[in-house]
Structure 1
Amino acid sequence: MRDLSLLQIQMRDYDGYRETRQRLLELRPGQRASWIGYAISWHLLKDYEMALAVIEEFRKTLNPKPYDYEYSELILYQSSILEEACRYQDAINHLQKYEKDIVDKLFLEESRARLYQLLGDTSSSAAVYRKTIEVRQKIYSDVLEQQPRASLPKKLPLTFLTGDMFRDHVDEYLRRSLRKGVPSLFTSLKPLYTDSSKVSMIQQLTTTYYRTLIDKQLFHPEDTIESNEGELEPPTTLLWTQAYLAQHYDYLGDFKQAFHHINEALDATPTLPELQMIKGKIFKHAGNMQLAAQHLDEAQAMDTADRYINCVCAKYMLRNNQVKEAEAMCQNFTREGASAADNLNEMQCMWFQTECAAAYSRRQQWGDALRHCHQVDKHFTEITEDQFDFHTYCLRKFTLRSYVSLLRLEDVLRNHRFYFKAASIAIKIYLHMHSHPVGDETSHGESNPSNLSASELKKLKNKQRKAQKKAAEEKAAAEEAAKRQTTADKNNKASGADADSEVSKKSDELLPSKLERCADPLEQAIRFLVPLQTLCSHKIESHIFAYEIYSRRGKPLLMLKAIKGGYNLHTRDPRFHVCMVKFLIYVRAASNLPDSVKEVLDKEMSSIYNNVTPQSLNNKFLDDNKSSLPHRLAAAQAMYYMDQSCQTAALELACSLDNSLSGITIQNCSEVYASLTKQDFGECSEKMDSYKKSCHQLFPFSSVFSPEPVVEKPSEEVVCNGVNSGHHDPLTQHEQ
């Protein structure tokens, strides 16, 4: 019976779970797990009255001891059920009645304040919150007195102080951290950068430090040696000030100033790994992942025992599509005797796998990318299965509130960002595979080599050679998998077990060659889409993916559902606007829809579109967002989709880089350039070249718009740990 109840709660069969727990209670009424399990079953069914009645009967049988944690947890669990039942006053009375039995006094006061607020009694809520603040102030004062060198008590006031008080406190915090040489100083202050006034004060202080440290080796022009405890600031203070300013200007997008300060710091101390990491991060934000990965590689070579630098270096390599190099980098900290990819898969290292999937996708190695996406999906399935052991553990340990929270977390597990990223990559790949099936990539010209020029024929041969090499690698992998299958079958016959065979079959299912040649890509895309529609409906991407999939399957009602879901988010997302225009055109052009479908479409679309034409819808969208670059791109794409004779107007609209426009960033301009490359506006090579040149002038460090690879010229060579770690000046090429 107990095993049956565990299976029922695992499968979320709450009705069956309640019946089984009731029978267990009847069989073993003396066990507390029987009472608690039965109460939780009613709670999960949202029958709060029965849950409270069962818990109250069980509570009467207990004899609490002083400082009894389990009894305290039971009281707080009752309070949480009352709160869920919207019986806020009863919950307050319950907490007040058993206040002496509750161990966690701070949580008690916070719960009471929250309940008063839910009742609308703001004065009582404020009074309780003041009481909790006083308690925290005492704790804060005690920590500050006992740990005067601790940085956290000094940083916390910066989040709420303003004006001169903020300036004084941040001045003290900056001086102390720069003097100590804290590498994470900028990271700790970055949350303050949402307030422009605080950013301005921080910039004013740090630039003053920088100039005065160069002139006088002091922080401020008015400082003296006597006021500075009789000492000048050490040279490292200037070094960390330069490092902070480099990160500060990098965050603000002023890459020239950022490179200026980080290069000065590297000139003084070229062997400090943190400086190389900062420079790599600046290159990443400036749009050049190749040089970013190069500097992280240099930083890692300076401190090969640092796991964090190793991970960041691997991530940058993956962003630069260097998958094999990233795996070799991770091999330094993975289990010996196994490949880094397999070991990281066993450890469910999902950041690595999502980055690998994105890198393979950019390299158009669809099978390898999908393999990593499916591995991430399996991790979430395994995490869901792993909760099985906690059903008995939590009841035994009496962590009731945490147990209910765990069950609810598992129900929405796939709204995690790792799953969303993996699912997004997989859906995009399956959509591409539906439009361009593997094996049909060759164009008509490629199938007739006699029609190609010498250069085109050379490119075709290189492409065929790469395809043959990839096919050979996949064949070798398939043969290796077959060998493992044969070995596993032999072992199974000898031992009578089939576990290894199951593992081998699962690994065989994730062969890249099979994944990229699936029979129905859209069906596989829907498999990843369903959790997004259920758990990530607040994200516009979920509805865009749904529309793109169902539009290819010709499902007008499901397309309408996606449009309606995105419309209800009240978003002005430019990508969703293109979907709305396409759907309106599709419905107007459809002539063979059943009458029942037409009736539903007419009724629902009238409230969304207000009977406008596609042209009017696009014009209104453009008028409302004419100063935004991403919205202009969407309007231009919709314009060309409606009428291909408007190519010139659409290109002018999308490619404008006027100073009055907002959103002119590397990412947005890269999306415009990618749209031109994919021929969303037809053949426009001349416009694409001119746009690339214009963007190169705006973003000279970005490799996307550079006419040739951006290469740093070494200004000096430094040998560190046997590794050639040359320091270069990235501004040289662009200032000439």
Structure 2
Amino acid sequence: MPTSQPLASKDASLFRQVLKCYEQKQYKKGLKTCEQILRKNPKHGETLAMKGLITNSLGKTEEAFAIAKDALRQDMKSHVCWHVYGLLYRSEKNFEESIKAYKMALRFEPDSQQILRDLALLQIQMRNYDGYVETRKSILQTRPQLRQNWTAVAIAYHLAGQLDEAEKVLIKYEETIQGNVPKWDIEHWETALYKNRIIADSGDIGRALEHLESMAKNCLDKVALLELRAEYLLKLGRKEEAQQAYRILLDRNPERRDYYAELEKAMGIAPKNRHEAKAIYDEYANKFERSDAPRRIPLDFLEGDEFREAANAYLSAKLKKGVPSTFANIKALYADDAKRQTIFELVNSYNEAQEQGKENGETNGSGPSQFRLWTLYFLAQHYDHYRTRNMDKALECLNKALKLAPNTVEFHMTTARVYKHAGDLQKAAQKMDEARILDKSDRYINTKTAKYQLRNDQNEDALKTMSLFTRNEANGGPLGDLLEMQCVWYVAEDAESYMRQNLLSLALKRYQSLWEIFEVWTEDQFDFHSFSLRKGQIRAYIDMLKWEDSLRSHPMFVRAALGAIGAYIKLADMPCLAQGALANGDAARYEKMTDAERKRALKKAKKDAQKAQERAAALAAAKKDDKNKNAQVAEGEVKKEDPDPHGIALARTETPLEEAAKWLKPLLEMSPERLEAQIAGFEVQIRRRQWTLALNCLNKARELATPEDPRVHEMVVRLRHAVNTLPAEEEFKAPETREALLEEVEKILSKDTELSAYNDEFLEKNKDSAAHVRSALRIRSVLKPEAKKDMSPLLSVLDIESTTLDEANEGLKLLYSFGVDENGYKTKAAAKFPLAKVFKGAK
């Protein structure tokens, strides 16, 4: 490798050895070799640069940057020094500075393939498509003999929106190979399908179809060919040919619902003309006796006697065969009252017939039939469904089934689910653990048990359960392995459990882990930018980029963001929770404390938190496996130590609302159509006194929700009240901002509106809705704090038949937050929900 500061032959050999050590992660050996070179050549910039790079790999980032800067001072014109400087910035995720360093390196070595590739990786990572096009063109000019360089330029043009240029690049590539492509060349045919996609994306469907037909004989991805051909024919209006194409696909896979829907379009069947559509499903049901889709799909649109007949055939066949997922397959139909009643009547008639047969002695002498067992199981799930909930009957059916088949895992799991829905989380976790013991090799049941234990706030038990299927010798034990495996559902459930216990430090630690997992998913693109090109998986690569662009709209990220924002809002409202020692309901008590009492409470909370931390550390040390002590660490590998394993520093932040805003930003950018995101934004911004931003969230929420949504009602009244009480000295960026804010709020609710009367009217109008009553009471506590004790509307809600357990539980939380005596409410709620433990005992 040529260097701008020449080395003697022996030292040049040592420098090559340094490069090899770095590539093989032999960092200590590489560092020693660097020192050996520098003893003779103390101002050799490139050796200094490599020393800095290796030092960074050992975790000494600040020292590494200092060495790299010294290397640049010694040799400003070395592409190696600038390249290393860019790599250091890349390791710190400062991609803008990294790109600048790469470009400087290219000024001195414009044809360096490695630097060009690294620059291209950063440009596509940052979605700098114009720069990516230029870099990829430079790489292609240097090495036009590689197919991946041609496809990379095409991808660059495609992502930049220049579809014509992308197609031209692929055409030029095809001209270079002159059609000499073996049939088994998968990468070539994948590129051909990608070219077809570009043609279709440009809108020329006819030409896309012609191109598809031209390569149909040799292309190996037959399913993609058939699906694209059918899609193009349908778009071109060639419906008879499209029918044939979709029938070919259905013959290959009669379970794909999409194929049936597209076949209906090809046959010109109107959405309302279900009689003709039924003929299609009957045809394929007769043709494929074991296929489920052509028998299940008609249940979505059939009505009356036709539905009863089809449902009877479907349900009886499934239950006689003993399919446990039968209820899961049809529960979507429960949204229709008539269909729900018909299904119940059918299954109940099966059960009654079997009961009658048993009384008459009609048994086969070999124990209970599958039909009887799974009919009881179906009825139990029917009674457990939220639209038809009857816990006593659900448990009765399950107990009958368990007497007949006591070792059937599904029956025990559903018993646990019934207790969960009834509000007895402790018994639910116990029953799920009993199901787990019946089949200890089943990972699914193991994870369900852990989930139920977390719902019951048994965090240690849940981790112990999960440890049965984790590498417990991993750094951090079972939890460390779960984090390494990116087990997001467990981390989210663990965080929510700690939130319920008001252990906000641990909750925030789990939420931070989820944030880091999503960061890793973003960074993982780096591996695929080059891998996908090398392996020719172009279409999947494009789909991955689109998925990554919307990654922060993933339901799990939304769930984590809302939870983290809620935790930081709690910290902002009650700083004492940073010590993790106050239980539910102490918010009101804390507000009533004098300064001296708060000081004593915080001191006690800190002491308790420190003891808890010491106990946790001792427990973790005791659980360390001996294998950890003897585990060999690769040479030079830095073992990461978590400086804040219990999240104490996260909880003790001085700026909780600013931390919440960090979570809020991607949430509002990627999920602006979610009402929960706008509500979270309002809660954060109104506490930050960012009135305009709070108003923006309110306006967006009003667009998304119905006018009578209780959450929007709360936001409207709170903002109006806050604006009415704005002090004259409130700071705004510009004097006109205050006037604009007042004008916009006036459009929502007039300043002359008497807010208490407005809220009372809202309460009276919606007194039969639990959610509306709670919102009105929360607003009343803000406008008239002395009215907190009047909780009669909340008690009246319990008389409403449609009030659910969750709504009753939310009402109890509201009483806790107000510091009002909850015993009367708990007595009445316990009578309505006798199995719910939340209304029994201490809070």
TM range (shorter): 0.7 to 0.9
Q: Verify: 1:469 aligned to 2:611, yes or no.
A: yes
- Residue 58 of structure 1 is matched in structure 2 by 173
Counterpart CA distance in 2 for 1:294 and 1:478 is: 25
Q: Verify: 1:194 aligned to 2:331, yes or no.
A: no
Instruction: Give the drift of 1:249.
Output: 0.8
Q: Verify: 1:378 aligned to 2:516, yes or no.
A: yes
- Residue 666 of structure 2 is matched in structure 1 by 531
- Residue 567 of structure 1 is matched in structure 2 by 702
- Residue 118 of structure 2 is matched in structure 1 by 3
Q: Verify: 1:134 aligned to 2:273, yes or no.
A: no
- Residue 555 of structure 1 is matched in structure 2 by 690
- Report the 3-state secondary structure (helix = DSSP H, G, I; strand = E; otherwise coil) of the residue aligned with 1:508: coil
- Residue 144 of structure 2 is matched in structure 1 by 29
Seen in structure 2, the aligned counterparts of structure 1 residues 463 and 378 have a Cα distance that, compared at 3 Å, is: closer
- Residue 699 of structure 1 is matched in structure 2 by 833
Seen in structure 2, the aligned counterparts of structure 1 residues 34 and 295 have a Cα distance that, compared at 3 Å, is: same
- Residue 739 of structure 2 is matched in structure 1 by 599
The C-alpha deviation readout for 1:532-577, integer Å capped at 9, x for no partner, is: 1111211112112222222222222222222233223244542233
The C-alpha deviation readout for 1:246-287, integer Å capped at 9, x for no partner, is: 111101212121122112223334333322211110011112
- Report the 3-state secondary structure (helix = DSSP H, G, I; strand = E; otherwise coil) of the residue aligned with 1:213: helix
Instruction: Give the drift of 1:325.
Output: 0.7
1:402 to 524, 540, 543: 540
Give the letter aligned to residue 816 of structure 2.
T
The C-alpha deviation readout for 1:149-203, integer Å capped at 9, x for no partner, is: 5656654554454444443343333333333433333223333333333322221
1:276 to 402, 409, 412: 412
Instruction: Give the drift of 1:697.
Output: 2.3
Q: Which moved more, 1:434-443 or 1:583-592?
A: 434-443
- Residue 10 of structure 2 is matched in structure 1 by none
- Report the 3-state secondary structure (helix = DSSP H, G, I; strand = E; otherwise coil) of the residue aligned with 1:704: helix
- Residue 320 of structure 2 is matched in structure 1 by 179
**Which residues in structure 2 correspond to 1:200-215 (within 5 Å)?**
200-215=341-356
**Which residues in structure 2 correspond to 1:162-311 (within 5 Å)?**
162-217=303-358, 234-251=368-385, 252-311=388-447
1:94 to 195, 199, 208: 208
Give the letter aligned to residue 673 of structure 1.
L
Q: Verify: 1:367 aligned to 2:505, yes or no.
A: yes
- Residue 753 of structure 2 is matched in structure 1 by 613
Give the letter aligned to residue 36 of structure 1.
T
Counterpart CA distance in 2 for 1:662 and 1:65 is: 71
Q: Taking structure 1 as the reference length, what is the TM-score of the superposition?
A: 0.80
Residues 627 and 662 in structure 1, CA contact (< 8 A), matched pair in contact too: no
Q: Which moved more, 1:350-359 or 1:688-697?
A: 688-697
Counterpart CA distance in 1 for 2:720 and 2:233 is: 49
Residues 287 and 701 in structure 1, CA contact (< 8 A), matched pair in contact too: yes
Residues 288 and 701 in structure 1, CA contact (< 8 A), matched pair in contact too: yes
Give the letter aligned to residue 698 of structure 2.
I
- Residue 11 of structure 2 is matched in structure 1 by none
Seen in structure 2, the aligned counterparts of structure 1 residues 290 and 159 have a Cα distance that, compared at 3 Å, is: same
Instruction: Give the drift of 1:231.
Output: 9.7
Residues 470 and 481 in structure 2, CA contact (< 8 A), matched pair in contact too: yes
1:545 to 680, 684, 692: 680
- Residue 414 of structure 1 is matched in structure 2 by 552
- Residue 734 of structure 1 is matched in structure 2 by none
Q: Verify: 1:520 aligned to 2:655, yes or no.
A: yes
Counterpart CA distance in 2 for 1:461 and 1:38 is: 63
Seen in structure 2, the aligned counterparts of structure 1 residues 92 and 583 have a Cα distance that, compared at 3 Å, is: farther
Instruction: Give the drift of 1:298.
Output: 1.4
Seen in structure 2, the aligned counterparts of structure 1 residues 38 and 465 have a Cα distance that, compared at 3 Å, is: closer
- Report the 3-state secondary structure (helix = DSSP H, G, I; strand = E; otherwise coil) of the residue aligned with 2:797: coil
Give the letter aligned to residue 259 of structure 1.
L
Counterpart CA distance in 1 for 2:754 and 2:445 is: 52
Q: Which moved more, 1:310-319 or 1:8-17?
A: 8-17
Counterpart CA distance in 1 for 2:720 and 2:602 is: 41
Residues 639 and 646 in structure 1, CA contact (< 8 A), matched pair in contact too: yes
Give the letter aligned to residue 700 of structure 2.
G
Counterpart CA distance in 2 for 1:624 and 1:41 is: 58
Instruction: Give the drift of 1:470.
Output: 0.8
Seen in structure 2, the aligned counterparts of structure 1 residues 96 and 217 have a Cα distance that, compared at 3 Å, is: farther
Counterpart CA distance in 1 for 2:287 and 2:661 is: 58
Q: Verify: 1:324 aligned to 2:460, yes or no.
A: yes
Instruction: Give the drift of 1:213.
Output: 0.6
Instruction: Give the drift of 1:317.
Output: 0.5
- Residue 348 of structure 1 is matched in structure 2 by 486
Q: Verify: 1:12 aligned to 2:127, yes or no.
A: yes
Q: Which moved more, 1:147-156 or 1:245-254?
A: 147-156
Counterpart CA distance in 2 for 1:143 and 1:566 is: 46
- Residue 657 of structure 1 is matched in structure 2 by 797
Counterpart CA distance in 2 for 1:464 and 1:390 is: 47
Seen in structure 2, the aligned counterparts of structure 1 residues 512 and 379 have a Cα distance that, compared at 3 Å, is: same
What is the Cα-based RMSD across aligned positions, in Å? 4.0
Seen in structure 2, the aligned counterparts of structure 1 residues 610 and 35 have a Cα distance that, compared at 3 Å, is: farther
Give the letter aligned to residue 411 of structure 2.
L
Seen in structure 2, the aligned counterparts of structure 1 residues 461 and 647 have a Cα distance that, compared at 3 Å, is: closer
Instruction: Give the drift of 1:527.
Output: 2.0
Residues 300 and 313 in structure 1, CA contact (< 8 A), matched pair in contact too: yes
- Residue 638 of structure 2 is matched in structure 1 by 499
1:431 to 547, 566, 569: 569
Give the letter aligned to residue 355 of structure 1.
E
Give the letter aligned to residue 24 of structure 1.
I
Counterpart CA distance in 2 for 1:598 and 1:708 is: 48
How many aligned residue pairs are there?
668
Give the letter aligned to residue 812 of structure 2.
Y
Give 5+ residue unaligned stretches, structure 1: 452-456, 481-486, 710-736
The C-alpha deviation readout for 1:559-602, integer Å capped at 9, x for no partner, is: 22222332232445422331222112112221334422123324
Give 5+ residue unaligned stretches, structure 2: 1-115, 255-281, 583-588, 623-628
Give the letter aligned to residue 151 of structure 2.
I
Seen in structure 2, the aligned counterparts of structure 1 residues 596 and 51 have a Cα distance that, compared at 3 Å, is: farther
Seen in structure 2, the aligned counterparts of structure 1 residues 479 and 697 have a Cα distance that, compared at 3 Å, is: closer
Give the letter aligned to residue 613 of structure 1.
T
Q: Verify: 1:47 aligned to 2:162, yes or no.
A: yes
Counterpart CA distance in 2 for 1:511 and 1:498 is: 25
Residues 472 and 481 in structure 2, CA contact (< 8 A), matched pair in contact too: no
Counterpart CA distance in 2 for 1:33 and 1:372 is: 41
Counterpart CA distance in 2 for 1:511 and 1:84 is: 50
Counterpart CA distance in 2 for 1:602 and 1:284 is: 48
Seen in structure 2, the aligned counterparts of structure 1 residues 10 and 461 have a Cα distance that, compared at 3 Å, is: closer
Q: Which moved more, 1:433-442 or 1:174-183?
A: 433-442
